[in-house]
Structure 1
């Protein structure tokens, strides 16, 4: 089989192959993480923001993000204002999975 590649002079992303070769991830999660890694840091990483540039809907994107969370590639943290009200969600995205804190501390 032939693979035709383009010269990488602009509009390309360099990222680890780790998630692409991870057999625990679905193809949807691999593609979603690749897309997220290709976007600038100030992008709107919410499911609504991602749905604006994807064919997939919010529910599909949300399930992909949940899969990435479960495998340590994404951390979502709800932020609160000074009154303690939930305001926005902060996303931290990793090329390599992080160990997941289950909250269980052995004695």
Structure 2
């Protein structure tokens, strides 16, 4: 069995590139289907925001049409604007459409 030393562990917000435009933070890698990513982020000390492609006012309308027509490379083509102070934590397609998740470290004592 491969072993990893604690000092070699990636931080929870480190992105995994799935090679198709989809990415996800290490903290979400073992999430069970239906598990709340916001809850996972909070457990790791992060605030959490979510943006659906269909709600992205900055998204190119051609991209939305391509998604509706079944284009498979939407996540690779979608570049959601990252909110100030946040970083991208995940971008992937779901049953409800493409979604981007943003996180930022919470200040101590903040909920």
Q: TM-score, normalization: structure 1? A: 0.26
Compare the two structures and name the one with the higher helix fraction.
1
State the structure with bigger RCO (CA 8 A, min sep 6), 1 or 2: 2
Pick the structure with more strand per residue: 2
Mark the structure with the bigger radius of gyration.
1
**TM-score of the superposition, structure 2-length normalised?**
0.25
